[in-house]
Amino acid sequence: MKQRGQKKTFFSLRKRLFLILIVSFFIGIIAYCSNGSKPDFVWSMVNVNHTALQGDAHLIEVNHGKTILIDAGYLGPASEQLVPYLKNRNVDQIDIAFITHPHRDHYEGLIPVLESGITIKTVFFNIPDRSICDREIPWGCNYGQILEYHQFLNQKGVTIQVAVPGMVFDLGNDVQIKILYAFDGINTPVGQTDINDMSLIMMLAHSGRKILFTGDLNRGIGGYLAEATNIQADILKVPHHGVEGVAPNSFFERVSPKYGLVPAPEAIWCSARGSRVRNWFQDNKIPVFVNGVHGHIEVMLYGDEIEFLPETPNAVVCR
């Protein structure tokens, strides 16, 4: 009788251990799935290209890190699309905003963002040389308006800083942005340029993956950067909305992207003005996502995995 009881106790103990292991296994799976479902960071190319007006607005949200805005679109599209998008994402504070260059379709949206109650801690917003800016009135650069925007930012308590090459920003969760190039339009390797070629060229890096942000990089500086060795990237934010005047094909070849994201209305991307860049991506069989076709586009990075979530996933580009 004593031996039988010991045997029963042994089997009961083994059964309890087995059940504990099973429960622990499933708890671990649930915890893993819960944590694994959150990307390390999300880059949203916000659709401020739903009208005939082109524009750039990029939201970067780092898991347990900082929230970044790169450009803000025109005034109207920012009010209609960017602000509601930020609200839907529960963004109430932007740690850093980068204005890649002083054209209205990149900086005007700062006003509706701030007036919506969303705070911005710091803005990197370089003031152009007036002689270059005044050549582009009224359609692009407006020196007086740029000064007014700086004054408005000051009144809102936003810290304004000058962006210079070599600046590195640690955003948390092993995500980093580095300003690779920032030309002033006057003293450049190719001489005096237009405002577009003042665009900040920035690299976002995480777990071996790289995303290149290019503002409205044009042919002048674009040709110079085609010889650079530090611009290769997995994803390219296509410069200047993909329209002619943009960086030459040699620049795209140097970047050698696996994906392209284009902030442009469909009518611009699919027009003759967009044919060279469009054909380059088609000829090289590189997938492209376009705001004016796919709507808001979210890029989620999980370690070395990339997931693209366009608002309209089955849209046909350039029908």
Tens place of pLDDT per residue across the chain (319 aa): 444 555 555 446 556 555 545 544 554 444 444 445 789 999 999 999 999 999 999 999 999 999 999 999 999 999 999 999 999 999 999 999 999 999 999 999 999 999 999 999 999 999 999 999 988 877 789 999 999 999 999 999 999 999 999 999 999 999 999 999 999 999 999 999 999 999 999 999 998 999 999 999 999 999 999 999 999 999 999 999 999 999 999 999 999 999 999 999 999 999 999 999 999 999 999 999 999 999 999 999 998 789 999 999 999 889 7
Of 181, 130, 134, 139, nearest to 54 by C-alpha is 139
Rounded to whole angstroms, how far apart are CA atoms 95 and 144? 26
- At 246, list the tokens: 């943009």
**205 lies in the same domain as 141:** yes
pLDDT attached to residue 36:
53
Rounded to whole angstroms, how far apart are CA atoms 203 and 176? 8
Q: What is the DSSP letter of 16?
A: H
Residue 51 class from Cβ within 10 Å (0-12 exposed, 13-18 middle, 19+ buried)? Answer: middle
**243 lies in the same domain as 158:** yes
Does residue 319 fall inside a structural domain?
Answer: no
Q: Where are the beta strands (DSSP E) in 106-174?
A: 119-125, 159-161, 168-172
Decide if 119 contacts 94 (C-beta within 8 A).
yes
Question: What are the beta bridge partners of residue 67?
Answer: 61
**13 lies in the same domain as 54:** no
Does residue 224 fall inside a structural domain?
Answer: yes
Rounded to whole angstroms, how far apart are CA atoms 276 and 248? 9
By DSSP bridging, strand 159-161 and strand 175-181 are: unpaired
Residue numbers of the domain that contains 4: 1-37
Q: Say whether 305 sits in a helix, a strand or coil.
A: strand
Q: What is the largest CA-CA distance in the chain?
A: 103
**101 lies in the same domain as 209:** yes
pLDDT attached to residue 1:
46
Does residue 111 fall inside a structural domain?
Answer: yes
Query: Which residue is associated with the tokens 């002033």?
Result: 184
**26 lies in the same domain as 145:** no
**9 lies in the same domain as 119:** no
pLDDT attached to residue 93:
98
Q: Say whether 174 sits in a helix, a strand or coil.
A: coil
Does residue 315 fall inside a structural domain?
Answer: no
Q: What number of CA atoms fall less than 13 Å from residue 283's CA on the CB side?
A: 10
pLDDT attached to residue 234:
97
